[in-house]
Amino acid sequence: MKHRLIPILLLVLLSLSCGKKDDVVELRLWNFGGTPPMMEWVRKRVDAFNATQTGIRVVQSQKSWNMIRELLYTNLSAGTGPDVMNVHANYAAEFGGAGFFYPINTFPDFEEVRSTHEPNLFESVRYRENTYGLPTSAIAFVLVCNKEMFDAEGVAPPRTWSEFREVSRRLTKDIDGDGSVDQWGFVLFGGDKGGFAYRLAALLYKAGVNILSDDLTRVEFNSRMGVKTLQLLTDMHLVDKSITPGFLAYQLSEINDLFCSNRVGMSIEGPWFKVVVEQKSPGKEFYTVPVPLPDALLDRYDTMPTLQDMVMYSINANTKHLKESWELLKFMRNEEADMDWVRLDLGAYATTRRALGSPEAGKLKDFATYRNELQHARPWPPHPAIISIARNVMTPWSQKAIVGDLSPEEAMAAAAEEAQLILEERK
């Protein structure tokens, strides 16, 4: 009799075990990119969420930022992919508009959650009438200036274009006496099409240039001031020779190497730069100031916009676990979590009012500069094709002008014509 009971008891225990497993909702979270401290923070935050839940378990995967668009399109268009993901906020237009992201403004407590964030930062994750993610990792593009080089030359960080050119010229020199220039004033992020476009956009916005019209139907970056902005970079490279000659191949690692070895004085970067410089050259100091603007706009030095960049946590529109995914989003981006953006070097800034207004934030080095720039910063226009236009149209045509293959007027005209065709095709 006992021998007959053993198989029955095993079957009962097995069925109970399977039933318990089936009661647990498994969410897949894809984390794209980030600095090493940020990736570690995500892992710990997911562990903390799992520790507080009895019916939800999150499985996190780390993915390459450079593959974000390809991975998302391949999976989301097939109806698969993760339940939750951190993505570029610009994808609110492209992927949200295509129906791949769930509109989180339809959750009953959405307004309560939204009220905890800075309103102007929250606008980055909207497309038309819907919101497609919770903002995280606020970024404003600024000018970083190598303090050791600036102090040795006795110059201050530039505010205007004329000061920018003059300082860049003074920092460009032959420092070892072999007859060849081996130190430059400014470096451009030319080896990455997106990285270049983001830095160009910061200069364009500071010059009062619109990338697209407000109704998103017309290209406007080829305006008179748009051409002058590109002329500035062209003159610095071809006339002053104060831009590093190999910039077309440079990515962030090369820029960091040049900066840390005192071979370059200035670059347009964001809050991640502090992290990468510290890893390469602990204790190295630099000035963080607004991106220079046209001399005629000097009285608006503190209020002209720079480019705002943003990452958001979004929900797959095809997830079978909407409620659970929303709970994960709120946990990853609540005010308690956002304070870690203040306390830790994660390479970006907080987005909630509580964190940004905290006494701890006010004590951070360069916080006042970034806080002010974020208040006035503008994101890329919310058009589904804007990132493609920035990377594949604005970048190559602008670089042709900077290296002298075309005049700035010719390059901007050609870029505008190509971009306008894209806008009209996407109507």
- For the chain, 427 residues long, give each residue's pLDDT as a single digit of tens: 445 545 544 444 444 444 445 689 999 999 998 878 889 999 999 999 999 999 999 999 999 887 888 899 899 988 889 999 999 898 999 999 999 999 999 999 999 999 999 888 888 899 999 999 999 989 999 999 999 999 999 999 999 999 999 999 999 999 988 889 999 999 999 998 989 999 999 999 999 999 999 999 999 999 999 999 999 999 999 999 999 999 999 999 999 999 999 999 999 999 999 989 999 999 999 999 999 999 999 999 999 999 999 999 999 999 999 999 999 999 999 999 999 999 987 888 999 999 999 999 999 989 999 999 999 999 999 999 998 999 999 999 999 999 999 999 999 999 999 999 999 987 6
Same domain, 303 and 314: no
d(CA 297, CA 379) in angstroms, rounded, equals 21
Q: Which residue, 230, 209, 207, 144, is CA-closest to 380? A: 209
Residue-level pLDDT at 119? 85
Same domain, 326 and 356: yes
Residue 13 lies in a domain: no
Same domain, 115 and 32: yes
Residue 19 lies in a domain: no
Residue-level pLDDT at 236? 98
**For residue range 208-251, what is the model confidence (pLDDT) as tens digits?**
999 999 999 999 999 999 999 999 999 999 999 999 999 999 99
Residue-level pLDDT at 347? 82
Alpha carbons within 13 A on the beta-carbon side of 262: 13
User: Helical H runs in 160-290?
Assistant: 161-171, 193-206, 224-238, 252-260, 272-280
Same domain, 119 and 68: yes
Same domain, 91 and 202: no
d(CA 263, CA 386) in angstroms, rounded, equals 34
Residue-level pLDDT at 4? 53
Same domain, 84 and 222: no
User: DSSP 3-state assignment of 287?
Assistant: strand
Residue 8 lies in a domain: no
Phi, psi at 136, each rounded to 5° = -150, 165
Residue-level pLDDT at 79? 86
Task: Give Dmax (Cα) for the chain.
Answer: 98
Q: Which of 341, 358, 376 is the last residue of a domain?
A: 376
d(CA 97, CA 103) in angstroms, rounded, equals 10
Residue 15 lies in a domain: no
Q: Which residue, 56, 57, 59, is CA-closest to 82? A: 59
Same domain, 54 and 201: no
Give how far Cα 61 sits from Cα of 29, 74, 168, 310, Å: 6, 16, 43, 21
Same domain, 152 and 217: yes
Same domain, 260 and 348: no
Residue 11 lies in a domain: no
Residue-level pLDDT at 427? 66
User: Which CATH number goes with the domain that contains 70?
Assistant: 3.40.190.10
Residue 388 tokens, joined: 């493609």
Number of domains in the chain: 2
Same domain, 200 and 349: no
Residue 266 lies in a domain: yes
Residue 281 tokens, joined: 């050259």
Same domain, 298 and 279: yes
User: DSSP 3-state assignment of 311?
Assistant: strand
d(CA 77, CA 164) in angstroms, rounded, equals 46
Residue 31 lies in a domain: yes
Residue-level pLDDT at 3? 52
Give how far Cα 52 sits from Cα of 48, 55, 56, 58, 334, Å: 7, 10, 9, 11, 15
Residue 82 lies in a domain: yes
Find the domain containing 167 and state its range. Answer: 142-307+382-425
Same domain, 219 and 87: no
Residue-level pLDDT at 85? 96
